[in-house]
A and B are shown apart, each in its own frame.
Chain A
Amino acid sequence: MTDAITSKTAAELAGDFRDGTLSASEIVDAHLDRIEALNPELNAFLYIDADRARRRAADLDAVRAAGNEAGALAGVPIGLKDLLCTEGIPTTAGSKILKGWRPPYDATVVSRLEAQGAISLGKLNMDEFAMGSSNENSAYGSVKNPWDTSKVPGGSSGGSAAAVAAGMVPLALGSDTGGSIRQPAALCGVVGVKPTYGRVSRYGVIAFASSLDQIGPFGRTVADAAFMLEAIWGYDHFDSTSIEEPPTPVGSVLDDGVQGLRVGVISELANTEGLQPEVAAALQRSAGQLAAAGAIVDEVSVPSIEYGLSAYYLIAPAEASSNLARYDGIRYGLRVEGPDTAATNRLTRAAGFGDEVKRRIMLGTYALSAGYYDAFYGKAQQVRTLIIDDFARAYERFDVLLSPTSPTTAFGLGDKVDDPLAMYLSDVCTIATNLAGAPAMSVPVGKDAHGLPIGMQILAPALGERPMFQAGAALEAAASFNAAEKTGGAL
């Protein structure tokens, strides 16, 4: 019975709750049971909010019993990446420096989900301050990939991707600064969406790189991802970079098909260095499937895309070095006392941050420092302009673009920890989207020889979520990826 519930999609669960087939309490209990069973091995949840979730479920059941409307997501369990502020509930951003911190406020997206009846089961593991591509940078231990627990789940939203893949929750929120939703979605065989910058409020989202960060959903189906996205997006006056025009729903285009949709396969990413042959083959297969479904598919060059990585690894650390200055041991979180305040700052930060965070803080500090600003930060922002211009040219001819999400399937735990640059290169396909502020999503389309999932990335111009979801749904239908066939020991 339990697995029958946890294998349902969010849309199914919402329907079951609405028509009385399942109570919210039954739904929550089934998922909590599964979390309890799997989390010791997967380490996806950092904090399980069981009591509060059960109370919320009981409240929702009472609301329904009284014949009242409980919201579009009523009864649907969700998980929240641990960089979303939750009032009174521990929020760590995967860092020791925030251990035990309980924010006095909720992120806008958290309030919106709760207002629509979603029930948070807890906080999900992540790379410290969202810096990483494998989840191995979490101060609270790595998350394991549910498909093979010797592999990484991807990062930085590895906990979110793993939790959804393992059926611990049907939906989860993650954040994407350079691929942190899409890459783990690909590696864990789930759908992950990075919306247009400004579409989803960042208020209450612990910042990594402010001009790149964007919140987005994970689901096991394209429809579920759309379901969650529609619950969180839209203007928020607490975020100055929020887009005021109301978004057009995407759930309604999922059955529209791709007849006449123009799809460009990004040639630079189709041949990128280190591309796993099975991933390259999957890309060709996906392109063929879309063409077979009526799309007009062709190759397109986005020449500057290859420089995205270089620009990103200057811009993101620069912003991060400033965003993370506030963790100084004075107002919240860890403090390691020194003889004076400056020493307290230095000792606290040395003890509280992990190596990757320190590396990026130093890299960003360097990129912004006197004498280097123009050569590094300034130049990187010029590259950003080139990328935006190249994309604009591509979108003159195409509605959406197609590429692999990650050059490889899930790699082994520990494989890249000593080589930061190699780790960074696993983001080569996803980064340019963030620099352009555009949306992109990853859809699982197949598996490699070891049974590990392969994700395909659909990119769209800013505010192009509708054609993106159209293509995503078509690809999902054509690929008929079977999420149930996990080979991992935990499942």
Chain B
Amino acid sequence: MSAKITREDVAHVAALARLDVTDDELDRFTKQLDAILEHAASVEALDIDGVKPTYHPLPLVNVFRDDVVRPSIERDAVLSQAPEAEDGRFRVTRILDAE
């Protein structure tokens, strides 16, 4: 956890998060993230071996809905908010990276 975050790391996470960053931003973000992570590293002082992680503050289980159809919303209410729409669908530029 004490390893420093590098400029390359920041460029990598920016790519994963689909954020275009300039060289200046990379420098700045690297410095800032490093300071934050260094502070976060303070938890290393804690003895937490074997401590169960808490992902959620509530101990709830089995919350379901019944399989009953509810009305959908008006297509126009959504498509009117889209940057671009055509033929009842959302229009986007070419998709290059096919799943």
Residues of A within 8 A of B (CB): 101-102, 104-105, 197-198, 211, 237, 240-241, 243, 304, 307, 309-311, 313-314, 321, 325, 328-335, 337-347, 349-350, 353, 358-359, 361-363, 365-366, 369, 375-376, 378-386, 388, 420-421, 424, 435-438, 462
The A interface is mostly helix, strand or loop, or mixed, namely: helix
Which of the residues A335, A353, A376 comes within 8 Å of B83, measured between beta carbons? Answer: A335
Least CB separation from B48: chain A residue: A382
Query: Contact: B83 with A383, CB < 8 Å?
Result: no
Supposing A340-B93, A376-B1 touch, asked if A420 and B73 sit within 8 A by C-beta, the answer is no
B63 within 8 A of A: yes
CA gap between A436 and B15 in the complex, in Å? 33
Query: Contact: A379 with B43, CB < 8 Å?
Result: yes
Interface size for chain B: under 10, 10 to 19, 20 to 34, or 35 or more residues? Answer: 35 or more
Residues of B within 8 A of A328 (CB): 18
Query: Contact: A350 with B93, CB < 8 Å?
Result: no
Query: Contact: B93 with A104, CB < 8 Å?
Result: no
Query: Contact: B48 with A383, CB < 8 Å?
Result: yes
A selection of 18 A-B contacts at a CB cut-off of 8 Å is A104-B78, A198-B57, A240-B60, A310-B40, A333-B81, A333-B83, A342-B96, A350-B20, A358-B19, A365-B17, A381-B53, A384-B54, A386-B48, A420-B36, A421-B36, A424-B36, A424-B39, A436-B57
Residues of B within 8 A of A381 (CB): 53-55
Query: Contact: A353 with B58, CB < 8 Å?
Result: no
Which of the residues B13, B60, B63, B65 comes within 8 Å of A365, measured between beta carbons? Answer: B13
Q: How far is the CB of A199 from chain B (nearest CB, A)?
A: 10
Query: Contact: B57 with A237, CB < 8 Å?
Result: no
Query: Contact: B57 with A349, CB < 8 Å?
Result: no
Query: Contact: B53 with A384, CB < 8 Å?
Result: yes
Which of the residues A309, A330, A339, A424 comes within 8 Å of B90, measured between beta carbons? Answer: A330
Enumerate B21-55 residues with CB–CB distance to A below 8 Å.
Answer: 21, 25, 29, 32-33, 35-37, 39-43, 46, 48, 51-55
Supposing A350-B21, A383-B46 touch, asked if A366 and B5 sit within 8 A by C-beta, the answer is yes
Query: Contact: A361 with B94, CB < 8 Å?
Result: no
Least CB separation from B13: chain A residue: A365
Residues of A within 8 A of B29 (CB): 358-359, 362
CA gap between A198 and B81 in the complex, in Å? 31
B86 within 8 A of A: no
B69 within 8 A of A: no
Query: Contact: B42 with A341, CB < 8 Å?
Result: no
* Chain B CB within 10 A, most for which of A240, A347, A378: A240
Which of the residues B5, B51, B57, B77 comes within 8 Å of A462, measured between beta carbons? Answer: B57
Counting residue pairs across A and B whose Cβ atoms lie within 8 Å, the total is 175
Least CB separation from A424: chain B residue: B36
Q: How far is the CB of A56 from chain B (nearest CB, A)?
A: 21
Query: Contact: A379 with B17, CB < 8 Å?
Result: no
Least CB separation from B97: chain A residue: A342
Residues of B within 8 A of A (CB): 1, 5, 9-10, 12-14, 16-21, 25, 29, 32-33, 35-37, 39-43, 46, 48, 51-58, 60, 63, 65, 73-74, 77-78, 81-84, 90, 92-97
Supposing A304-B46, A344-B93, A349-B18 touch, asked if A104 and B9 sit within 8 A by C-beta, the answer is no
CA gap between A359 and B17 in the complex, in Å? 11
Query: Contact: A382 with B73, CB < 8 Å?
Result: no
CA gap between A378 and B40 in the complex, in Å? 13
Least CB separation from B95: chain A residue: A341
Supposing A366-B13, A379-B1 touch, asked if A347 and B74 sit within 8 A by C-beta, the answer is no
Which of the residues A241, A325, A335 comes within 8 Å of B84, measured between beta carbons? Answer: A335
Residues of A within 8 A of B21 (CB): 350, 358
Query: Contact: B96 with A341, CB < 8 Å?
Result: yes
Query: Contact: B10 with A362, CB < 8 Å?
Result: yes
Residues of B within 8 A of A388 (CB): 54, 57
Least CB separation from B32: chain A residue: A420
Residues of A within 8 A of B39 (CB): 309-310, 313, 421, 424
Residues of A within 8 A of B20 (CB): 346-347, 349-350
CA gap between A182 and B33 in the complex, in Å? 26
CA gap between A331 and B89 in the complex, in Å? 10
Residues of B within 8 A of A345 (CB): 18
CA gap between A331 and B84 in the complex, in Å? 8
CA gap between A334 and B83 in the complex, in Å? 7
Least CB separation from B22: chain A residue: A350
Least CB separation from A377: chain B residue: B53
Query: Contact: B35 with A421, CB < 8 Å?
Result: yes
Query: Contact: B17 with A362, CB < 8 Å?
Result: yes
Query: Contact: B36 with A313, CB < 8 Å?
Result: yes
Least CB separation from A363: chain B residue: B33
CA gap between A134 and B84 in the complex, in Å? 35
CA gap between A104 and B76 in the complex, in Å? 10
Residues of A within 8 A of B51 (CB): 382, 385-386
Least CB separation from B63: chain A residue: A240
